[in-house]
Chain A
Amino acid sequence: MAITTRVVDRPVDESSYIRATFQGLALSFKHLVDPHKVTVQYPEEKWDIGPRWRGTHRMLTTEDGTAKCVACGLCPTVCPANCIKLVPGEDAEGNRYPLVFDIDEFRCIFCGYCQEVCPEEAIHLGRHYENAEYERKDFIYDLKRLTSQTHPVCEMWDPADPRGE
């Protein structure tokens, strides 16, 4: 076990034009008939993204359809890009809930810290990558949009994935 130093071979004398051309052509044609295909025919064929993929957000809801968020304020605090706007509210029983919960997906850098710190497992990054919109204002996801989106969510930092917790 040791780290050693070695002078690299320098095969300048063995260089050639014609031989290298034929060698290169042979290698390229071998790849032509090689069935190993790497291209994905994108719009028809979708890329199978991994279960930990960090994409556009979703807010998970309780059984009665309201957001799980309790407006604790951890995600706007930890967000390195300052893209979460949260205004907390309180109902008659003293339960906190978000009056406003906007995520600016333009500013978002998809680091996933919001999901990592959420103590209610409410805000999640989604396994979703086709984010195009027709207008700029549509990239500010409000609470209604965050709760109504249905794509699967990132499994990292969830108790369901103990290795990623």
Chain B
Amino acid sequence: MATKRTIEVELSTTGLGADGKPQRIPLVSGDTGGLALQTPPVLEPELEGEHMLINIGPQHPATHGVLRLVLELDGETVVRCIPHIGYLHCGFEKIGEYRQYNQIIPWTDREDYLNCVGNNIAFALGAEQLFGIEITPRCTVLRVIGMELSRIASHLVWMGTTGIDIGAFTPFLWSFQERENIYNLFEGWVGARLTTSASRVGGMAADIPDGWLDGLKAFVRTFPRTLSECDRMLTRNGVWVGRTVGLGVMNPEEALNYGLSGPMLRASGVDYDVRKDFPYLDYETYDFEVPVGVHGDVYDRYLVRMEEMRQSVRIIEQAIARLPDGPVNVDDPRVILPPKHKATSEMESMIHHFKNVMEGPRPPIGESYVAVEAPKGEKGYYMVSDGTAKPVRWRIRPPSFVNLSAIPKMVEGHLLSDVIAINASIDIVMGEIDR
């Protein structure tokens, strides 16, 4: 039993004691005074043996970022899993307290870096609620296109990297080809592929250039073919099915109790989608299906995400058909920079231009919270304003962070190699978790 005690000493974390002084709290179950994590499964007597403690990560490609998983193994079976996070902490929220609202938008590129345009737009929605601005109809439709494109891009990365984790290399190449097409579209629109900074409070960085919609239509035409090819490679493949079915099962009650959202929750059979239940950007006027699973395992999450990509294509098709003409930015000189030719020729516009940059747009005192359906789940932006140009507090509700909290539950009792598949199925981005 000496080995066992060593493990318990290793598995400790810093915390505060009853007297308020820092101390090491052992992460053990039971009534030993430590933090009760979970009861290890009762093993048959002949299997009782030495447990091994291993680290996966933080520098492991299969952890999808700098996630460190401490696993206690009995043979090859996971007895306990403790995720360690914080290796990518950048202090976005604190930095944001020293930036004007538009200046925070480049930071939203960098938290969930697979869904940049979606983050930009979600932040702008939150700021607009704070400012009390109604965006223009053209901007609304353009934002829907941007959000759905970045949802597809994020799911493609998920499918490709999960395939690699489980041993399927070809769909990775195909999905990244299609992702390149999406990034070409973003490059043509705002000039950057990954760190787009596409939105502004009250509008977008720029209108789409001439001919951009043709490129989007070509993408919408060719993408379903690639998707069905990946579907043929994976969905009915015995290896894929064998490595995903029955893993990391979360039933609906557990999923809700853990606060899961997005495809993780829908795969468990709960049809919660922010676009459906709390519509924003006129999503309620689009015609699409919310896919839900039944079993809540890795295979269902895969199916739900594949179907979501198809539904996103449907939404983009409808958005192209209804894209109205007109201005993208609101006609409100308090928040939006005037057009460059006016700023350099008219006195009034020049004054607005300088005041907007030097002092920044100032919202009324108040707070706002906007949640959107990000590819990973429900993503929220919370802002508090004291009437100055910079937020007093800015907070992200990161879906990956909440979804990751379920990993100790999901991997318990599974094999070590299945930890990789289960971890991949959460679709985490560490930039968003550590912020």
Asked if A116 is at the interface of the complex by the 8 Å CB criterion, the answer is yes
CB of A9, distance to nearest CB on chain B (Å) = 7
Chain B residue total in the interface (Cβ 8 A): 72
Asked if B41 is at the interface of the complex by the 8 Å CB criterion, the answer is no
Query: Which B288-303 residues have C-beta < 8 A from chain A?
Result: 288-295, 299-300, 303
Chain A binder among B80-88, B149-157, B230-238, B378-386: B230-238
> Contact between A3 and B284 (Cβ–Cβ < 8 Å)?
yes
CB of A117, distance to nearest CB on chain B (Å) = 5
Give the docked Cα–Cα distance between A68 and B6 (Å).
Answer: 69
What is the chain B residue whose CB lies nearest that of A38? B177
> Contact between B289 and A5 (Cβ–Cβ < 8 Å)?
yes
Query: Which A1-55 residues have C-beta < 8 A from chain B?
Result: 1-12, 14-17, 19-20, 23-24, 27-28, 31, 38, 49-54
Asked if A103 is at the interface of the complex by the 8 Å CB criterion, the answer is no
> Contact between A5 and B271 (Cβ–Cβ < 8 Å)?
yes
A9 contact set on B, CB distance < 8 A: 303
> Contact between A2 and B177 (Cβ–Cβ < 8 Å)?
no
Give the docked Cα–Cα distance between A50 and B210 (Å).
Answer: 12
> Contact between B357 and A74 (Cβ–Cβ < 8 Å)?
yes
CB of A165, distance to nearest CB on chain B (Å) = 4
Q: A38-B180, A77-B357, A157-B206 are in contact. Are A3 and B237 (CB under 8 A)?
A: no
Asked if B323 is at the interface of the complex by the 8 Å CB criterion, the answer is no
Give the docked Cα–Cα distance between A9 and B299 (Å).
Answer: 11
> Contact between A156 and B205 (Cβ–Cβ < 8 Å)?
yes
A163 contact set on B, CB distance < 8 A: 206-210
Q: A52-B206, A109-B195 are in contact. Are A80 and B107 (CB under 8 A)?
A: yes
B307 contact set on A, CB distance < 8 A: 6, 8
What is the chain B residue whose CB lies nearest that of A39? B177
> Contact between A125 and B238 (Cβ–Cβ < 8 Å)?
no
Asked if B254 is at the interface of the complex by the 8 Å CB criterion, the answer is no
B233 contact set on A, CB distance < 8 A: 20, 23-24, 27
> Contact between B195 and A111 (Cβ–Cβ < 8 Å)?
yes
> Contact between A159 and B206 (Cβ–Cβ < 8 Å)?
no
B337 contact set on A, CB distance < 8 A: 116-117
What is the chain A residue whose CB lies nearest that of B104? A80
> Contact between B237 and A164 (Cβ–Cβ < 8 Å)?
no
Dominant SS among interface residues on chain B: helix
> Contact between B191 and A50 (Cβ–Cβ < 8 Å)?
yes
Give the docked Cα–Cα distance between A31 and B177 (Å).
Answer: 13
Give the docked Cα–Cα distance between A165 and B339 (Å).
Answer: 6
The 8 A CB mask of B370-409 against A (1 = contact, 0 = none) is: 0000000000000000000000000000000000000000
Give the docked Cα–Cα distance between A14 and B210 (Å).
Answer: 46
Chain A residue total in the interface (Cβ 8 A): 58
What is the chain A residue whose CB lies nearest that of B106? A111
CB of B218, distance to nearest CB on chain A (Å) = 13
CB of A102, distance to nearest CB on chain B (Å) = 20
CB of A149, distance to nearest CB on chain B (Å) = 18
Q: A27-B232, A50-B188 are in contact. Are A159 and B106 (CB under 8 A)?
A: no
CB of B170, distance to nearest CB on chain A (Å) = 6
Closest 10 pairs (CB-CB, A-B): A52-B191, A17-B238, A164-B206, A20-B237, A15-B241, A159-B341, A163-B207, A54-B191, A5-B271, A80-B103
Listed A/B pairs (14) with beta-carbon separation below 8 Å: A3-B275, A8-B303, A8-B304, A27-B170, A50-B191, A54-B192, A74-B358, A77-B358, A80-B106, A113-B197, A116-B205, A163-B207, A165-B340, A165-B341
B→A interface (CB under 8 Å): 99-100, 102-107, 170, 174, 177, 180, 184, 187-192, 195, 197, 205-210, 229, 232-233, 235-242, 245, 271, 273, 275-276, 283-295, 299-300, 303-304, 307, 337, 339-341, 343-344, 350, 353-354, 357-358
A→B interface (CB under 8 Å): 1-12, 14-17, 19-20, 23-24, 27-28, 31, 38, 49-54, 72-74, 77-78, 80-81, 109-113, 116-117, 119-121, 125, 154, 156-159, 161-165
